[in-house]
Amino acid sequence: MSVQSAPVTVSTIVVAVDVGKTSAVVSVTDDARRRLMGPVEFAMTRSGLVAATQRMVAVVPSCAQVKVGVEAAGHYHRPVMDYRWPTGWEVHELNPAHVAEQRRVMGRRRVKTDGIDLEAITELVLAGRGRVNTERDVLIGELAAWAQHRSRRVLTRTATKNQLLGQLDRAFPGLTLALPDVLGTKIGCLVAAEFADPARLAALGVNRLIRFAAARNVQLRRPLAERLITAAKDALPTRDAVVARRVLAADLSLLADLDSEIIDAETELARLIPRSPFSTLTSVPGWGVVRVSNYAAALGDPNRWPGSKQIYRASGLSPMQYESAGKRRDGSISREGSVALRRALIDLGIGLWLTEPAAKTYAHGLKDRGKRGGVIACALAHRANRIAYALVRDHAVYDPARWT
């Protein structure tokens, strides 16, 4: 008669890590909520994390399944996530909002300490929450980094252009009367760079100005050239024109550097998008690499979203709803949530509005019904959100017949 051995039960051990800027706190707990170690604080350095890991290994049973839970903290948690943990340990990234909600469930909404955060992280990991990092997360992280870098440079370029126009008005008064959009045209940029001193432009004359522009591959028609020469001859002198021209030259140099960095960022985005889960989105009319990259950077890993409704709600574009005692009172758009995601969805909606026939018809129908521009933009953002989620989920190209 054979004796059957009892099945070996594998316990789960949770390593909870609460990350700060210069230090982190860790605890080790088993699935029976028994604290095996900690809380222990260690420095956010290689030696600090190695020493803390050695202490964890000493208290963890050899046959246990170990799950490391790390609360996302901006970029501070990235070194802990990318650290080479012992073989077999699973690393889970936790949403800070979920950790805060877990504290509320534990009855400690108004109390935030490292120990309580570690308890909340432990409970979430034991409940199966958290996201395991993959190689795709690295690609999406790289895509988000370049998209955010480009956005920052675009904002800086816009501010620089505004400052540059102020200096140009001091150096060359009256130029905008002859050429309203100075920095939006090639000839305007040429005049700002080469003829910030109106006396030089006036001395050049119409014919020589046309030849000068043609030598630099800038087409200049005679009526505009005549207006520019007239404005240069009639410009009022200012006392700070010399200083303004020096500052203008520095701003133009900065503007050229910003343009170069934006082009480099767009080149990187064009390289990364085809390798990402968002590659099929560029098949939608009006959705280029930049629009898709901004959406990808704001959304992150698409697998963490159960549906398009959750994405739209996270963007803050869903209307507020209040219902109590049988009475319901709806409000306007809440605008709570991710600003980056909200802007990305609205930008995708605008792309549809400008180029996609069915979206144009839909937008015109809303306008004919008396809807305001903001309402139409939100409606197109909702449409764009559903299309983007479906294409990424199914990894399919855009089919106009499906979305008419």
Token output for 326: 């049988």
Token output for 377: 């933009």
Question: pLDDT by residue (tens digit) across 12-71?
Answer: 899 999 998 889 999 999 888 889 987 999 999 999 999 999 999 999 888 888 999 998
User: Region 221-227: what's the mean pLDDT?
Assistant: 91
pLDDT at 1 over 50: no
Q: What is the pLDDT at residue 334?
A: 55
In DSSP terms, 41 is beta-bridged to 25
Nearest of 10, 13, 11, 8 to residue 90 by alpha carbon: 13
Token output for 62: 């050899």
Question: pLDDT by residue (tens digit) across 338-395?
Answer: 889 999 999 999 999 999 999 999 999 999 999 888 889 989 999 999 999 999 999 9
pTM of the model: 0.76
In DSSP terms, 28 is beta-bridged to 15, 37
Give the separation between CA 386 and CA 311, rounded to whole angstroms: 9
Q: What is the pLDDT at residue 6?
A: 45
Question: pLDDT by residue (tens digit) across 267-301?
Answer: 999 999 999 999 999 999 999 999 999 999 999 88
Burial class of residue 95 in the structure, from the number of CB atoms within 10 Å of its CB (0-12 exposed, 13-18 middle, 19+ buried) = middle
Q: What is the pLDDT at residue 331?
A: 52
User: Region 233-260: what's the mean pLDDT?
Assistant: 90
241-272 and 135-171 helices cross at what angle (nearest 10)? 160
Q: What is the pLDDT at residue 374?
A: 85
Q: Using an 8 Å Cβ cutoff, are 176 and 183 in contact?
A: no
In DSSP terms, 42 is beta-bridged to 24
CB-based contacts of 147, cutoff 8 Å, min separation 6: 265, 269, 290, 293, 294, 296, 297
Number of Cβ atoms within 10 Å of the Cβ of 240: 11
Give the separation between CA 319 and CA 358, rounded to whole angstroms: 24
pLDDT at 8 over 50: no
pLDDT at 241 over 80: yes
| SS3 track for 272-286 | HHHHCCCHHHHHCCC
User: Region 175-196: what's the mean pLDDT?
Assistant: 87
pLDDT at 325 over 60: no
- Please provide the CATH number assigned to the domain covering 144-270: 1.10.287
Q: What is the pLDDT at residue 320?
A: 53
| Residue 45 amino acid letter | T
CB-based contacts of 45, cutoff 8 Å, min separation 6: none
Q: What are phi and psi of 226, to 5 degrees?
A: -65, -40
| Least confident interval from 7-16, 98-107, 113-122, 366-375 | 7-16
User: Region 77-94: what's the mean pLDDT?
Assistant: 89
Q: Domain 12-133: what homologous superfamily? A: ATPase, nucleotide binding domain (3.30.420.40)
Name the band, by pLDDT with cuts 50, 70 and 90, for residue 2. very low
- The dihedral through the CA atoms of 323, 324, 329, 335 has a sign that is negative
- The dihedral through the CA atoms of 59, 63, 69, 70 has a sign that is positive
Give the separation between CA 287 and CA 356, rounded to whole angstroms: 10
Estimate to the nearest angstrom the gap between the alpha carbon of 60 and the chain centroid.
39
- The dihedral through the CA atoms of 241, 242, 246, 252 has a sign that is positive
Q: What is the pLDDT at residue 100?
A: 85
What is the distance between the terminal CA atoms of the chain, rounded to a whole angstrom? 72
Q: What residue segments make up the domains of the chain, in order of their start? A: 12-133, 144-270, 277-394
Question: pLDDT by residue (tens digit) across 192-222?
Answer: 889 989 999 999 899 999 999 999 998 999 9
pLDDT at 308 over 50: yes
pLDDT at 328 over 70: no
Distances (CA, A) of 352 to 265, 275, 293, 361, 392: 24, 24, 16, 11, 17
User: Region 164-168: what's the mean pLDDT?
Assistant: 87
